[in-house]
Amino acid sequence: MPRQRRLRKVVAPPKFKGFKPYGTSNSSATAIELLYEEYEALKLADYDMMNHKEASELMNVSRATFARIYESARRKMAQALVETREIKTVYGNAEMDESWHLCNDCHARFTMPESAKKDTCALCSSTNIESLKTTN
Ligand SMILES: [Zn+2]
């Protein structure tokens, strides 16, 4: 029986597409893919200093699932540091209340109601925008 994947609530997408190490010769290593929900778990537990119970409720997952996501996030961050690999954020199983978009010109991240159906950046009016839901 395939396990049903429940979506994990993420308040906002990461404010970056990725991180690159510098001062290293290991530039050919493949990037580590950090899922949005892993970023969120790390943020809630280690940045917002929430306990796992609060954090799991916020993300709408069980404590066991939260612990697993959090462990995976920490493992990936450690791997990225030790192996000097790039970090790339990818959508994963995240669920966001609002539809987030990224402007490829001014790099703003902004929300847009589904009903708006506009395809321009809220800040610079560029049409070079992408949805953060479907792309990496
Ligand atoms: Zn813009």
Q: Hey, where are the domains in the chain?
A: 1-96, 98-136
Length of the chain in residues, anyone? Answer: 136
Per-residue pLDDT for 46 more than 60?
A: yes
CA 22 to ligand 1 center in whole angstroms: 28
Q: Which residues contact 76 (CB under 8 A, 6 or more apart)?
A: 32, 33, 34, 38, 87
CA 121 to ligand 1 center in whole angstroms: 5
CA 46 to ligand 1 center in whole angstroms: 31
Between 13 and 5, where is the model more confident? 13
CA angle 22, 27, 30 (to 5 degrees): 120
Mean per-residue pLDDT, 3-23: 86
Mean per-residue pLDDT, 109-129: 85
Q: How many CA atoms lie within 13 A of 25 on its CB side?
A: 0
CA 96 to ligand 1 center in whole angstroms: 21
At 25-37, the pLDDT tens digits run 876 789 999 999 9
Q: How confident is the model at residue 135 (pLDDT cuts 50, 70, 90)?
A: very low
CA 104 to ligand 1 center in whole angstroms: 7
CA 93 to ligand 1 center in whole angstroms: 26
Cα distances from 50 to residues 25, 55, 88, in angstroms, run 37, 6, 25
Residue 59 is predicted with a pLDDT of 96
At 65-104, the pLDDT tens digits run 999 999 999 999 999 999 999 999 999 999 888 889 999 9
CA 128 to ligand 1 center in whole angstroms: 8
Between 100 and 135, where is the model more confident? 100
Question: Nearest Cα to 97, choosing from 118, 111, 109?
Answer: 111
Q: How confident is the model at residue 106 (pLDDT cuts 50, 70, 90)?
A: very high
